[in-house]
Amino acid sequence: MEAIDRAAQVLAGDQDSFRVLVDRHSRAIFRLAYRMTGNEHDAEDIVQDTFLRAYRALHTFEARADFGTWLHRVAINCALDHLRRVKRREEDTLGLPEDEQSGAFNSIPSASPTPERLLLSVELKKKLEGAMAKLSDRERAAFVMRHFDGCSIDEIGKALGLRGSAAKNTIFRAVQKLREALQPMANS
């Protein structure tokens, strides 16, 4: 059954249909949220917020749109809200040196190491995370959407409320910052 039919059934009061949508999209939303935050705990929260928000806003989903794309847009907004909240908390935190304050890509260490994690040297991982941490929330969102989700600049602009040229410049800035941060590694 197509996502649009599922959505229609949910709107008709069939909660179980929403369970199928959650089941189908949870992992992709988690990956997106993790890339946006660099933190498992935050990513888990964003996944839940995304589905709760999507459930409430399901009537705004248009039949001609792709459900996955729409859901990703909801997730991006949830992630941006989350990052803003984190930033506010950081600003309120007093007495901690900047590098000890929790934040995206340098906050709670992730749980159990996976084989992938072990393969990647700790130093390399740190540098990659550091490079991502240099991006602003908007740049990170735009970059993740473009690079990992394959969204067009137009779609990114719509999702982030930016005009075409502003969305494009956001991507340019993000790429430039990443390249600058990763240049020494690329050379070595």
Partner 1 sequence: MRHLTQDELVLFYYHEEGGVDRRQAEEHLQSCDLCRQELASLGQGLEMIESLPVPERDESYGAQVWTRIRPRLAKEPERRWSFFFPIRTWALAGSSALLLALAFWAGRFWQQRQTPTVAAISAPARERILMVAVGDHLDRAQMLLVEVMNQEAEGSVDVSQTKQLAQDLVQSNRLYRQTALRDGMPEWPTSSTTWSAFC
User: Which residue among 93, 117, 136, 161 contacts partner 1 (CB under 8 A)?
Assistant: 117
- Applying CB under 8 A, the span of 55-63, 70-78, 86-94, 96-104 interacting with partner 1 comes to 55-63
- Dihedral sign from CA coordinates of 83, 133, 178, 31: negative
Secondary structure element (H or E) that encloses residue 151, with its range? none
- Applying CB under 8 A, the span of 68-76, 77-85, 96-104, 128-136 interacting with partner 1 comes to 128-136
Quickly list DSSP for 32-91.
Answer: HHHHHHS-HHHHHHHHHHHHHHHHHTGGG--TTS-HHHHHHHHHHHHHHHHHHHHHHHHH
Residue 135 sits in the site that holds partner 1 (CB under 8 A): no
Beta carbons of 49 and 82 less than 8 angstroms apart: yes
Q: How far apart are CA 121 and CA 19, in angstroms?
A: 38
The distance of closest approach from Cβ of residue 147 to partner 1 in the complex, given in angstroms and rounded to an integer, is 6
User: Which residue among 3, 10, 76, 145 contacts partner 1 (CB under 8 A)?
Assistant: 10
Count of other CB atoms within 10 angstroms of residue 142: 30
Binding site for partner 1 (CB under 8 A): 10-11, 13, 15, 18-19, 22-27, 30-31, 34-35, 40, 47-48, 51-52, 55-59, 110-111, 114, 116-117, 120, 124-125, 128-129, 131-132, 146-148, 152-153, 164, 168, 171-172, 175-176, 178-179, 182-183, 185-186
